[in-house]
Amino acid sequence: MIRACRANASDGILCTVLGQNAVHGAFAGYSGITVGICNTHYVYFPIPEVISYPRAVDPNSRMWHRCLTSTGQPDFV
């Protein structure tokens, strides 16, 4: 997890759960996966599928401005 500020308790819990799920996946014999959240469930994503195409965020979109506002980040655009 990459953050621009110090981690809080929720970040620690999320990282712990993601790490535990990654270990469970490895012990189950999966390789080339990453763990994420999809519709409130922890799931395994194949890494080649995750990186198969680039994703871009429109810096002028309403969703991006909501993200900046909710996280308290400055708008450098």
Q: Does a structural domain hold residue 1?
A: no
Q: Does a structural domain hold residue 42?
A: yes
Q: Does a structural domain hold residue 44?
A: yes
CB neighbour burial string for 28-53, b if at least 16 within 10 angstroms, e if fewer: eeeeebbbeeeeeeeebeeeeeeeee
Number of domains in the chain: 1
Q: Does a structural domain hold residue 67?
A: yes
Per-residue tokens: 27: 């012990």
What's the pTM? 0.65
Q: Does a structural domain hold residue 25?
A: yes
Statement: residue 1 has pLDDT above 70? no
**Digit-coded pLDDT (tens) for 31-68:** 999 999 989 899 999 999 989 988 888 989 999 899 88
Q: Which domain holds residue 19?
A: 9-71
Q: Does a structural domain hold residue 3?
A: no
pLDDT attached to residue 77 = 65
pLDDT attached to residue 16 = 93
Q: Does a structural domain hold residue 61?
A: yes
Q: Does a structural domain hold residue 14?
A: yes
DSSP alpha helix (H) spans, 1-77: 9-27, 47-50, 62-71
